[in-house]
Chains A and B, each alone.
Chain A
């Protein structure tokens, strides 16, 4: 599979605060990635740096095979983006805004736009300033999908949507993801949304992608391990990101289960329990 985005040593700071620190990341074509991170972790900064909306201080980003600083028109036409905040032109009606945005692209799927407008019951005669936050967000999503891009980046797209709207939006992403050529990145706080559509999860923590793997692998590998032993002080859990002792029990969250170690402990008479965790718990543990 070809690489859609290649990020190398990307750094960005605001005043004295370092947000991204020599971040490396490689995204393959067809990946549907949920980007998780705490508030202020730098998800939007990373997305903006990838798209060169807010350029990074150092490092390089290759988008669809081109340097993100000098993208050709053909490559730009293959990118769709939904910002976190709706800053579209407030005085235009939805209809006018669609017409405005259409002018920038050679290819524009009018029927797709009409279908989404009707499905999401958007009054196209209303000005953007008259729409609710959720409706405005839906318009942004429509605008990002209308030119049928190959790479779609959504910055917390579902944050302002009601549950029905979120479900509908996720359904749309699932449909898009069915096309193996499409690459989708969406940042979110809502882990259940991510579990519904993403095939990969990336966790941004302390300026770096601290964890990036297939969603299934993440759930399979990042687990809670408990060891019951008479000599808990002598137990060290491999790959543990944090451990704590409770009487005769040693608990820890691991990023990978060392089966050999488990077998050895069990053969020595220790009891080793492995408990799967929800994605939300995994996220909290990895970013604790």
Chain B
């Protein structure tokens, strides 16, 4: 297998990148590129695609530079550097979709190189991600107009002139890949992230040594699970439901700290909005996009985590159900189901409460948006929960299918949220939405019926 194949391994990753690129090409054809806003849309999409591509490939590059056999394999670094150069070149070529706007194309190329350099630094010093996230947050939700001539100058023209400088720096960085020195704990962490598979990453985090986890992540994990620990350290009798909840919880569990973190984000969101109210349509769109991703994303993330944790724990749960505490298999399955719905319910409630808060702070006429958000979240709750229940019930290993469907649903629900807002559509009274809601509800009922009438298969899946 060539190094390029190793770096880009994973059909899901390749398909996702190809799909995004295709979207960018389609947009560049159909959008009126004489309109600045449309060109910006394509440029931002290009940057996003490459951030994803370079980010994931970068974890593998970082790991390959630390390969123990690197020093004894002939031409190892030469080939690795060659592969990185080719991938970076491919990444830069995606900016061709911005033609005939040459300034914008060159400016985007520079931004791509900035992303590349940022990622290279982040693999050595992950704390730069905090600075990055804060900057993105500030820029994305700032009320400045992206379409102004002055913004255009600083955002694209100046970077376009800087391309040779960043090109030279990037080239030098690639040529020095063999001097890359990484902390051992980062190596363990990156081997988890570089799987490029959601399921393997979720489950590997569970098995990752504590020292390899980022401190913030460890703090969140500890605090998410602290109530279980306290309970186990006390001499109190623990209910069957809680015992099943403990057994079904991985380090990815959404708990106190996660909800605190998300609440803080929501509060920051509201505060920011209070001091820098939306003034332009562009900012409004960004806000809307982020908000849709936030609410649907939390539901999707919660369902995905529940699914992968339970799916990975099947054999453990199979043993647990044999414990004398449970009268029969049906009782155990009912408890697992109950735990799942309690956790899903908490997520849904949190999403709805925070959505209501944000919507009433940001938008002046929030009623329709509130109802739409409620509809979208209910639909996502039904579909995601049904998928998880079907996936867990079956004897076959269906984690990839479940993940793909969840991802598609997630991607579909975001434009639905944005379009319904922009086009002033009432989702609750739309026939299509009503149909989708009925389908979601029926699917959920079918999944529940399946669990009720047939005990799920807890056997380990290969």
Contact = CB atoms under 8 A, between A and B. Distances in A.
A binds B: yes
A83 B210 contact: no
A149 B323 CA distance: 12
B327 A73 contact: yes
A90 B207 contact: yes
A92 interface: yes
A74 interface: yes
Interface stretch (B60-68, B313-321, B431-439): B313-321
B462 A14 contact: yes
A249 interface: no
Interface string B427-462: 000000000000000000000000000000011101
B217 interface: no
A100 interface: yes
Given A54-B315, A129-B209, 8 more contacts: A74-B324, A79-B322, A89-B246, A104-B243, A105-B324, A129-B207, A130-B209, A130-B210
Interface of A: 14, 48, 51-55, 70-71, 73-74, 76-77, 79, 81, 83, 87-93, 95-96, 99-100, 103-106, 127, 129-130
Given A54-B318, A99-B233, A100-B243, A70 B328 contact: yes
Secondary structure at the A interface, as helix, strand, loop or mixed, is: loop
Interface string B187-226: 0000000000000000000111110000000000100010
Nearest to A97: B232
Residues of B in contact with A, size category = 35 or more
B209 A73 contact: no
Contacts of A100: 232, 243, 246-247
A96 B233 contact: yes
Contacts of B221: 91
A51 B322 contact: yes
Contacts of B319: 51, 53, 81, 83
Top 6 closest pairs, chain A to chain B, by CB: A104-B323, A73-B324, A77-B324, A76-B324, A96-B232, A54-B459
* Max chain A Cβ within 10 angstroms of own Cβ: one of B210, B249, B324: B324
Contacts of B324: 73-74, 76-77, 104-106
B314 to A, nearest CB: 9
A228 B254 CA distance: 76
A166 B208 CA distance: 27
A67 B243 CA distance: 26
B322 A92 contact: no
B418 interface: no
19 contacts: A53-B319, A53-B459, A54-B318, A54-B459, A70-B328, A71-B322, A79-B322, A90-B206, A91-B225, A91-B251, A92-B246, A93-B229, A100-B243, A100-B247, A103-B237, A103-B325, A104-B324, A105-B324, A129-B209
Contacts of A88: 316
B238 interface: yes
B235 to A, nearest CB: 9
Contacts of B328: 70
Interface in B71-92: none
Contacts of A93: 229
Contacts of A53: 315, 318-319, 322, 458-459
A174 to B, nearest CB: 26
B247 A129 contact: no
Contacts of A76: 322-324
Contacts of A91: 206, 221, 225, 249-251
A87 to B, nearest CB: 5
A83 B324 CA distance: 18
Given A14-B462, A54-B460, A91-B251, A129 B210 contact: yes
Contacts of A87: 313, 315-316
A99 B225 contact: no
Nearest to A147: B324
A89 B320 CA distance: 12
Contacts of A96: 228-229, 232-233
Nearest to A51: B322
* Max chain B Cβ within 10 angstroms of own Cβ: one of A51, A92, A95: A92
A140 to B, nearest CB: 11
* Max chain B Cβ within 10 angstroms of own Cβ: one of A74, A100, A127: A100
